[in-house]
Structure 1
Amino acid sequence: MDQAPSPAVVQQIPLPAPAPGTSRVLTVLRFGEPGARPKAYLQAGLHADEFPGMLALRHLAEMLETHAAAGEILGEIVVLPLANPVGFAQQVGGFLHGRHDLASFGNFNRDYPDLAKEIADTLGERLTQDAAENVATIRAAMGEALAERAPRTETAALRHHLLTLAHDADIVLDVHADNEAMPHLYIGTPLWPDARDLAADIEARAILLAEISGGHPFDEACSGPWWSLAARFPEAPIPPACFAATLELGSNDDVDEREARRTAEALLRFLARRGLVGGVSDLSPAMPRAEATPLEAMQQLIAPTGGLVAYHARLGDHVRTGDLVARIIDPVGAEADVLAGTDGILFARHNQTYAWPGKVIGKIAGETALPERKGELLTD
């Protein structure tokens, strides 16, 4: 007699209490058989004030429940619709502040450990000429390194649990949004063009490639060790065994039921195409709406002075070098122009139209690397 398919398993992981009388938990939804391959890990809300992805993953979880009931989960899928209960509780002055940890002022999507650096010296002669064996060996070493960690603070424990859940996944999707933006995608250069279908699925208007973006964000903590170790051990076949990407679904505050379902359906098609879910029709991806470009070619538009921001270019506009993108206006003083420093598409702006010197007020996806784009390539 066939065994009934398993529904989602809900796991609650307690976090260390930040103060007496307080406690939070990390909620994990698991689909399929533990240890089955391929394994996908999806999370939203790591920046807890970026809302569209949370609703999209809630709808995706509902869809996966239906497929689980039909026995159509073919691999293992781990979903965290709310990956950051710490940030989600940071309500200050009537607003949620979920990008930075108020206890340490650190960005929740920075400072993840470099697992390649931690395990490289332990691999030695354990690597062979069999790529599959090397993947298993490296994943085991990563798991051992993570198990040896003993985080003390609530936020350190959160980072540790998230990476422990994701480090051995074949696919890692970290779902975000931007202040005011069009959908876009950050992904490691070695994973392109394999990510073309994902870019098409989310209708990305910018696809930004980098091996090292700076700051040690979550997706690179999962994917980066593979090409780092491949460079360290060129004699051993080490494939890019973790397809990790940061998906920016649009604007932070654009929470819409229909759009969330559409995104969930797109993610479901992607998972089905990658062999994780059966029973999904129409798996043919559309063509991407953008060309992939280096992250070093993305211009961050910097306000030279303080004042009101009057945008002259709209999201989605193609601008050319020297075009006026915005004007900074001191209500009782001078004005300053912010010009495009590259040809490309304006895919993100800041939703608070007030600037101070050095504030990033927009992003242009260009094609040619810019001389000032070195080191830390992401906006903190």
Structure 2
Amino acid sequence: MHEHFIDIPGRATGTIHRLTWFSFGDGNDGPHVYVQGGLHADEGPGMLVARLLVDRLIEEDRAGKIRGRVTVVPAANPLALGQFLHGDQQGRFDHYDGRNFNRDYPDLTAQAIAQLKDALTKDPQSNTARIRQALLQALETIAPSAPSDRLRHALMRLALPADVVIDLHCDGEAELHLYTQPASLESILPLAALARCRAVLVADVSGGEPFDEALTRPWGAIAEAFPDKPVSQGCVSCTLELRGRMDVDRKVAGADAKSLVDYLRHIGVIAGKPILPALSCEATPLAGSEALVAPVSGLVSYTVSLGHHVRQGEVVAEITDPVTGDLHPVAAGTSGVFYARPATRIAEINKRLGKIAGTRPFRSGPLLSP
């Protein structure tokens, strides 16, 4: 195990933010997997799971069982770890410009394609290495200045060499679920099974250039640009949502870390083969996931529990006007698993009240919440 540091200059004179990451193995005998937690720095479950994963990997390393390479960034956003407002941590958006820390990652596709002209061969393995190098070179042509963009640059530089990228997040309150892309789905489904995800949401483009898609999407575009050359999907990724913000529990996180270790065994990064359980859900299109919206403001109470399979037209929540006493039911517009909801019970008009994983696509445009 090796511990590494990247210092990111802050906006003010004399300020520095330190990004810490850990590496295991050398990648010569197996895949390279990148795992990070806390990109949204107010989401504790992923940071705890990533830290406990490091502890598990130290044991596996001592036992000589690591066959591939693992990179773990337990707290991926040192900038936002220090953002507080009136005693509450604000880790999703940059206080300076309001941007979501999991959006606006650079699209390296065009520059990589330009570099790869006449460079690819008939050997798919050689092509994977050349594409990965071209993507890294394209990233290095970008000279970020804002601390948040320097952070994006640093995280992409760490993740671009990886075959598998797992970004750990959480919702307000939620069942364990994940987001991935069609090109990644087959490789990621074993992780969904081991983690016992209750929803697997799939989209080619979810909008906003989130971290995981910025790493995987160039591969498909490069394959389309060079149809006469064998180009495999050199990077698969997912965003694994570890329940809700309050679910910071060492016992639960330990079980989640074990699921990640079992996945690493399954794909050959660590010696041994786990028993792969059956999936707890089917994969569904992110475009079929309904975001329930409050039609009025008021106090929210839920009539169904998380994990409940709701039917179209079934009342999921009720909003009470605290002044008039008026009661407004909120019904599901689609059928599926009720997998996430906010932690607060006070709603403004148009507040998102929950998410239902439906099977029928009906949305277009940006599919992720802001």
User: Which bin holds the TM-score, normalised by the shorter protein?
Assistant: over 0.9
Contact residue 16 and residue 152 of structure 1 kept, 8 A: no
The separation in 2 between residues aligned to 1:36 and 1:106, in whole angstroms, is: 39
What's the CA shift string for 1:144-197, capped at 9, x where partnerless? 111222111111100000000001200100001110000001011122233221
Tell me which amino acid in the other structure corresponds to 2:339.
Answer: F
- Is 1:288 the counterpart of 2:247 in the alignment? no
* Structure 1 stretches of 4+ moved >6 Å: none
What's the CA shift string for 1:313-356, capped at 9, x where partnerless? 21011111111111222211444322101110100011111111
The separation in 2 between residues aligned to 1:109 and 1:205, in whole angstroms, is: 23
1:303 to 294, 304, 324: 294
TM-score w.r.t. length of structure 2: 0.96
2:353 to 356, 361, 364: 361
- Look up the SS of the partner of 2:186 in the other structure: coil
Q: Extract unaligned runs of 5+ from structure 1.
A: 1-7
Tell me which amino acid in the other structure corresponds to 2:293.
Answer: I
The separation in 2 between residues aligned to 1:160 and 1:193, in whole angstroms, is: 28
- Look up the SS of the partner of 1:125 in the other structure: coil
| 2:179 corresponds to | 186
Q: Extract unaligned runs of 5+ from structure 2.
A: none
Moved more, 34-43 or 203-212: 34-43
The separation in 2 between residues aligned to 1:356 and 1:306, in whole angstroms, is: 4
Contact residue 177 and residue 249 of structure 1 kept, 8 A: yes
Tell me which amino acid in the other structure corresponds to 1:347.
Answer: Y
Contact residue 43 and residue 174 of structure 1 kept, 8 A: yes
The separation in 2 between residues aligned to 1:292 and 1:34, in whole angstroms, is: 30
Residue 136 (structure 1) shift: 1.1
Question: Equivalent pairs: percent with the same residue?
Answer: 42
Which aligned pairs between 1:237-316 and structure 2 lie closer than 5 A? 237-278=230-271, 280=272, 283-316=274-307
Residue 63 (structure 1) shift: 1.1
Residue 16 (structure 1) shift: 1.1
| 2:146 corresponds to | 153
Contact residue 183 and residue 203 of structure 1 kept, 8 A: yes
| 2:365 corresponds to | 375
- Is 1:58 the counterpart of 2:48 in the alignment? no
The separation in 2 between residues aligned to 1:337 and 1:319, in whole angstroms, is: 14
What's the CA shift string for 1:194-230, capped at 9, x where partnerless? 3221001111000011111111111111111111222
Residue 37 (structure 1) shift: 4.3
Contact residue 52 and residue 257 of structure 2 kept, 8 A: yes
- Is 1:196 the counterpart of 2:189 in the alignment? yes
TM-score w.r.t. length of structure 1: 0.94
The separation in 1 between residues aligned to 2:255 and 2:329, in whole angstroms, is: 38
What's the CA shift string for 1:233-269, capped at 9, x where partnerless? 2222211111211000101121111111111111011
The separation in 1 between residues aligned to 2:227 and 2:346, in whole angstroms, is: 50
1:344 to 327, 336, 339: 336
| 2:6 corresponds to | 13
Contact residue 202 and residue 249 of structure 1 kept, 8 A: no
Residue 35 (structure 1) shift: 6.7
Work out the number of aligned pairs and report it. Answer: 369
- Look up the SS of the partner of 1:145 in the other structure: helix
- Look up the SS of the partner of 2:92 in the other structure: coil
Tell me which amino acid in the other structure corresponds to 2:52.
Answer: H
